[in-house]
Chains A and B, each alone.
Chain A
């Protein structure tokens, strides 16, 4: 009886703590916690803007333990993944990573993520929200494929910013400077193995570190020891969101609604609408959603996710987009917006009716000044390229390393 009373009646409801939690909790000066996939997760640790500048000018770590990780292995693993995602998985070499989206039968995006090829017949798929049910469905009918959810087995840390290579070198990762973007390399680490991929979600130089969960803290300590002179700093969701927007990366629940979660027909998006047509490989004879996407390609895409450079400095959050300055013809809506310190521009991603992309584009911006509401119309310019794409993100070896 007394034992039963001691057990936490809400045990199953409480947020899980990542292997890095003891260190992250100590650094979370503002106690700004939210949650991601059932993990306690930092919105920010100290100040979102400060953390953002660490990413852009120094280095920072971002906990990706809550990210979903699936090990997909077996003789049919490549075929199964190749049918599931729109890109050609057979082209992915061992120790390489690729960015992918996958669609339902109607060609609407279920989720995006990355595929790591870890061996001849071994892959890891990562994504933002749980996708096991869909992956299992996609594996139905293949005899030789095993799908395992390894999300809780791996301690994973994203490490981003221009000084990351130097820090990793200082940590003892010999030859890290020769690792190319989307490459994977393994290093011995205190009797175990540390896997490093040159990947990230900031559009800048950066890496992701993967290690078995029991070695997570030791890895953290080694990294933070090496990064100390570089003022290594953890960053949370808010800084990530700023950095990814500058890089032009999409976010679920912002740019797209996962197709398996929408109720309304076409409240979800296709890869073409998300401007991810480059991920859709029609040279493949078949992949899930191909028929629908081919029809869309021939018919034309109704909306296109567009990068906008907006005059002024008022972020166009949740703005309507119009064809005319008088705002009589609505042609779209903003999905994410911010003042970009790196680009020194008022930037946004917006879903805009494709046929109006060549004409004038105006945004109606609501903003607040000391509790008073104001509104204004601002001219928008379509930007073809990401707002932040420094050459160092792609250089091998990276500069200063």
Chain B
């Protein structure tokens, strides 16, 4: 039987980060990936002959700490300054563009409100930044020392001064709508500013919960890189560190050595039947997959298993990839750089969300798109392009079921929304593919096709992520760890969950 120090399940970006860290610390690490290629949701996949696209096309806040720790620059990763984020209202008005600290296209009043609004949120984001990199304390157990990360965040918030501290406590659980309504008047701009609190979550502008916190998470370290180049650099760093990567190697079971002394993760069994042993197994698969499918509840406590079972994992984002004959043109834009938002108002987002509450998608979906071929031309034949869109809100449990007709219909609606700002788009279209959350679940092995593997909300955040007794990357079964997006801090291509998990394993 082959034997390793550590087996990492899944070669998504978090699995690769974790594996590389451990290999650099001298461990013999095997990464087992179900699919033919590494990358997880950032893996490019052919959706139309000659056209490829990842589900997650770009990263906007990959952790510089992780990049440094893994020496990713030497492996070709360039963290560029933030890309523009542009609201296209579809009504002929000029685009509103946010790029880092700058705002263009806004009314005089909104432009005046912007610097202070932005600076204050950035101060909050900076104060919180270290906490995303730290293991959260255990609830009601463990040494007092483990409370330090929280204490440090508290201290950093205190250091912001009384006024900021009070403001932070006031706004951190506000609905995005209340926050932006206080400062701005232009609907399209407000939608743009609220968006990063919402995308990927079961949250709309009027939802009180974790939206502001999610936005601050995304503001913690702004940068830009293409998902595919990130995966490329991570793959190269992993192999340089001596990580063994095996693709087409789906793990069927996590093996547990069980005797009167208790239980200990002992390795894995692949779908092929091969068993491989290891001192520890680290899973980047989502928590439900890891605990219920791969481990099995017979190794877990009843209460714990049920907490895992009731994690909210139903995704609400569909992926629409379009193969284009040429570079698309958007009203008022010289080029489709960065991210484009097709949500004319906060109400448009709210109404689209409303439909999803009742198991439907909206007649007027809202969506964020980009043209990844502008920075990664290899994804399409020369001169041709890919448009990649996140379509919200597309419930995993669509009442009528996700058949081909439903997907074609949602794709047509999304296209119609974009056409309001890109009249020639339909003529450039060579083909398209819409991946519903059910498709994402099937193709990428993520329960519910959820962006964050499981909802990022107050009850599933920080020391409650994914649930207590598994929130420190360690699981109730000795030797089994988690390192994917379902852990603290959350999803997105940031590398932090994988990095934090490796730190814990090595601690």
Contact stretch, chosen from B301-309, B316-324, B359-367, B487-495: B301-309
Q: A141-B292, A141-B296, A283-B260 are in contact. Are A289 and B301 (CB under 8 A)?
A: yes
Per-residue CB contact flags for chain A residues 104-115 toward chain B (1 = under 8 Å, else 0) read 110000000000
Q: Is B222 an interface residue (CB 8 A)?
A: no
**Complexed CA–CA distance, A115 and B296 (Å):** 23
Please name all residues of chain B whose beta carbon is closer than 8 Å to the beta carbon of A282 when the two chains form the complex: 260
B306 close to A288 (CB less than 8 A): no
Per-residue CB contact flags for chain B residues 242-283 toward chain A (1 = under 8 Å, else 0) read 000000000000001011111100000000000000000000
Least Cβ distance of B303 to chain A in Å?
4
**Complexed CA–CA distance, A80 and B296 (Å):** 11
Interface centre among A83, A84, A137, A141 (most CB of B within 10 A): A141
Per-residue CB contact flags for chain A residues 62-94 toward chain B (1 = under 8 Å, else 0) read 000000000000000001101110000000000
Q: Is A138 an interface residue (CB 8 A)?
A: yes
Q: Is B415 an interface residue (CB 8 A)?
A: no
Please name all residues of chain A whose beta carbon is closer than 8 Å to the beta carbon of B297 when the two chains form the complex: 83, 140-142
Please name all residues of chain B whose beta carbon is closer than 8 Å to the beta carbon of A285 when the two chains form the complex: 256, 258-263
B303 close to A105 (CB less than 8 A): yes
Please name all residues of chain B whose beta carbon is closer than 8 Å to the beta carbon of A141 when the two chains form the complex: 292, 296-298, 300, 305, 309
Please name all residues of chain B whose beta carbon is closer than 8 Å to the beta carbon of A290 when the two chains form the complex: 262
B296 close to A105 (CB less than 8 A): no
A286 close to B303 (CB less than 8 A): no
Chain A residue with Cβ nearest B288: A141
Q: Is B476 an interface residue (CB 8 A)?
A: yes
Per-residue CB contact flags for chain A residues 268-299 toward chain B (1 = under 8 Å, else 0) read 00000000000000111110111100100000
Q: Is A134 an interface residue (CB 8 A)?
A: yes
Please name all residues of chain B whose beta carbon is closer than 8 Å to the beta carbon of A105 when the two chains form the complex: 301-304
Least Cβ distance of A323 to chain B in Å?
32
Per-residue CB contact flags for chain A residues 135-177 toward chain B (1 = under 8 Å, else 0) read 0011011100000000000000000000000000000000000
Please name all residues of chain B whose beta carbon is closer than 8 Å to the beta carbon of A134 when the two chains form the complex: 302
Q: Is B420 an interface residue (CB 8 A)?
A: no
**Complexed CA–CA distance, A84 and B301 (Å):** 9
Please name all residues of chain B whose beta carbon is closer than 8 Å to the beta carbon of A84 when the two chains form the complex: 302
Q: A282-B260, A285-B259, A286-B263 are in contact. Are A291 and B476 (CB under 8 A)?
A: yes
A286 close to B299 (CB less than 8 A): yes
**Complexed CA–CA distance, A105 and B308 (Å):** 14
Least Cβ distance of A280 to chain B in Å?
12
B309 close to A140 (CB less than 8 A): yes
Least Cβ distance of B260 to chain A in Å?
4
**Complexed CA–CA distance, A288 and B299 (Å):** 9
Please name all residues of chain B whose beta carbon is closer than 8 Å to the beta carbon of A83 when the two chains form the complex: 297-298, 302
Least Cβ distance of B294 to chain A in Å?
12
Instruction: From the candidates A82, A104, A140, A284, name the one contacting B305 in the complex (CB within 8 A).
Output: A140
A140 close to B306 (CB less than 8 A): yes
Least Cβ distance of A150 to chain B in Å?
22
Q: A105-B303, A285-B262 are in contact. Are A79 and B298 (CB under 8 A)?
A: yes
**Complexed CA–CA distance, A141 and B309 (Å):** 8
Residue total for A at the interface (Cβ-Cβ under 8 A): 23
**Complexed CA–CA distance, A290 and B297 (Å):** 14
**Complexed CA–CA distance, A82 and B296 (Å):** 14
**Complexed CA–CA distance, A289 and B303 (Å):** 10
Per-residue CB contact flags for chain A residues 203-214 toward chain B (1 = under 8 Å, else 0) read 000000000000
Q: Which of A232-279 contact B (CB under 8 A)?
A: none
Please name all residues of chain B whose beta carbon is closer than 8 Å to the beta carbon of A142 when the two chains form the complex: 297-298
Least Cβ distance of A21 to chain B in Å?
36
Least Cβ distance of A72 to chain B in Å?
14
Chain A residue with Cβ nearest B259: A285
Chain B residue with Cβ nearest A79: B298
Please name all residues of chain A whose beta carbon is closer than 8 Å to the beta carbon of B304 when the two chains form the complex: 105
A288 close to B262 (CB less than 8 A): no
Q: A83-B297, A291-B476 are in contact. Are A138 and B259 (CB under 8 A)?
A: no
A104 close to B303 (CB less than 8 A): yes
Least Cβ distance of A221 to chain B in Å?
43
**Complexed CA–CA distance, A142 and B306 (Å):** 12
**Complexed CA–CA distance, A142 and B305 (Å):** 11
**Complexed CA–CA distance, A141 and B305 (Å):** 8
**Complexed CA–CA distance, A285 and B266 (Å):** 14
**Complexed CA–CA distance, A88 and B258 (Å):** 14
Least Cβ distance of A111 to chain B in Å?
13
**Complexed CA–CA distance, A144 and B298 (Å):** 13
A138 close to B302 (CB less than 8 A): yes
Least Cβ distance of B311 to chain A in Å?
12
Please name all residues of chain A whose beta carbon is closer than 8 Å to the beta carbon of B301 when the two chains form the complex: 105, 288-289, 291
Instruction: From the candidates A104, A283, A291, A294, name the one contacting B302 in the complex (CB within 8 A).
Output: A104
**Complexed CA–CA distance, A79 and B304 (Å):** 17
Please name all residues of chain A whose beta carbon is closer than 8 Å to the beta carbon of B298 when the two chains form the complex: 79-80, 82-83, 141-142, 286
Chain B residue with Cβ nearest A84: B302
Please name all residues of chain A whose beta carbon is closer than 8 Å to the beta carbon of B261 when the two chains form the complex: 285
**Complexed CA–CA distance, A79 and B299 (Å):** 10
**Complexed CA–CA distance, A280 and B75 (Å):** 55
Chain B residue with Cβ nearest A290: B262
Q: A285-B258, A286-B298, A291-B476 are in contact. Are A137 and B303 (CB under 8 A)?
A: yes
**Complexed CA–CA distance, A137 and B256 (Å):** 22
Chain A residue with Cβ nearest B295: A141
Please name all residues of chain A whose beta carbon is closer than 8 Å to the beta carbon of B299 when the two chains form the complex: 286
B302 close to A286 (CB less than 8 A): no
**Complexed CA–CA distance, A283 and B300 (Å):** 16
Chain A residue with Cβ nearest B261: A285
**Complexed CA–CA distance, A134 and B303 (Å):** 9
Per-residue CB contact flags for chain A residues 284-324 toward chain B (1 = under 8 Å, else 0) read 11101111001000000000000000000000000000000
Least Cβ distance of A105 to chain B in Å?
4
**Complexed CA–CA distance, A82 and B259 (Å):** 14
**Complexed CA–CA distance, A141 and B302 (Å):** 10
**Complexed CA–CA distance, A105 and B298 (Å):** 13
**Complexed CA–CA distance, A141 and B289 (Å):** 11
Please name all residues of chain B whose beta carbon is closer than 8 Å to the beta carbon of A104 when the two chains form the complex: 302-303
A286 close to B292 (CB less than 8 A): no
Please name all residues of chain B whose beta carbon is closer than 8 Å to the beta carbon of A286 when the two chains form the complex: 258, 262-263, 298-299
Chain B residue with Cβ nearest A106: B303
Please name all residues of chain A whose beta carbon is closer than 8 Å to the beta carbon of B300 when the two chains form the complex: 141
Least Cβ distance of B15 to chain A in Å?
24
Please name all residues of chain A whose beta carbon is closer than 8 Å to the beta carbon of B259 when the two chains form the complex: 285
**Complexed CA–CA distance, A203 and B259 (Å):** 35
Least Cβ distance of A262 to chain B in Å?
15
Chain A residue with Cβ nearest B307: A105
Please name all residues of chain A whose beta carbon is closer than 8 Å to the beta carbon of B303 when the two chains form the complex: 104-105, 137
Q: A105-B301, A286-B298 are in contact. Are A137 and B260 (CB under 8 A)?
A: no
Chain A residue with Cβ nearest B296: A141
Chain A residue with Cβ nearest B257: A285
**Complexed CA–CA distance, A294 and B298 (Å):** 18
**Complexed CA–CA distance, A283 and B263 (Å):** 11
Please name all residues of chain B whose beta carbon is closer than 8 Å to the beta carbon of A283 when the two chains form the complex: 260
Please name all residues of chain B whose beta carbon is closer than 8 Å to the beta carbon of A137 when the two chains form the complex: 302-303, 305-306
**Complexed CA–CA distance, A145 and B259 (Å):** 24
Least Cβ distance of B467 to chain A in Å?
12
Please name all residues of chain A whose beta carbon is closer than 8 Å to the beta carbon of B476 when the two chains form the complex: 291
**Complexed CA–CA distance, A79 and B298 (Å):** 7
**Complexed CA–CA distance, A289 and B309 (Å):** 19
Least Cβ distance of B25 to chain A in Å?
29
Chain B residue with Cβ nearest A285: B258
A-B residue pairs, 5 tightest by C-beta: A141-B297, A285-B258, A105-B301, A105-B303, A283-B260
Interface, chain B (partner A; CB < 8 A)? 256, 258-263, 292, 296-306, 309, 476
A and B contact pairs by CB, cutoff 8 A, 10 listed: A80-B298, A134-B302, A137-B303, A137-B306, A138-B302, A282-B260, A285-B260, A285-B261, A289-B301, A294-B262
Given contacts A134-B302, A140-B302, A284-B260, 19 further A-B contacts (CB under 8 A): A79-B298, A80-B298, A82-B298, A83-B298, A105-B304, A137-B303, A137-B306, A140-B309, A142-B297, A283-B260, A285-B258, A285-B259, A285-B260, A285-B262, A285-B263, A286-B263, A288-B301, A289-B301, A291-B301
